[in-house]
Amino acid sequence: MRKYRFDVFAAVWVPYALLVHRFWFVTDDAFISFRYARNLVLGHGLRFNPGEHLPVEGYSNFLWVLICAVFEFFRMDVALWPPLVSAASARLRRLSDWRSLSIDFRMPLSMRAMSRRWRYPSV
C-alpha cells in the first residue's frame, strides 16, 4: 500500500514540479508586495517608502504581503519562498478538486447531478 501511495504521489507531484521549474517567473508587481513586507517587518508599517507622511496602499493583495512579511521576518529569500508556497497551494487545491470529483462517482446518479449544480451554478 505504501508503494502505491508513493507512486501516486510521484505521478501527481513530479510533472507539476517540472512545470513550475520550467515556467518559473516572478513578476515585477510581486516586488512591490515584497517591499511593503520588508518595510512592515522593519517597523515602518505598510509603506512603500519609509518616512512618507501619508501611507499609500499600493498593494492589491494584503494577505500576500503578510505572507511575504513572515518570510522577510525570518530573513528568507522572498523571491523564492512565497512563489513556492503559491505553487504548492495551487497543487493542493487541484488535489482537493480531484478528491471532490472522485467522491461524486460514488454517489447515486440523482445526487451527483444535484451536487454538480450546487458546486457549479452555471452548469
E strand segments, the chain: none
How is residue 96 annotated by DSSP?
H
pLDDT per residue as tens digits for the range 3-15: 666 777 777 778 8
Q: pLDDT band for position 73 (50/70/90)? A: very high
Of 68-72, 92-96, 109-113, the poorest mean pLDDT is in 109-113
The residue extents of the domains of the chain are: 2-119
Rounded Cα distance between 78 and 92, Å, is: 21
Going by C-alpha positions, the residue among 41, 88, 37 that lies closest to residue 65 is 37
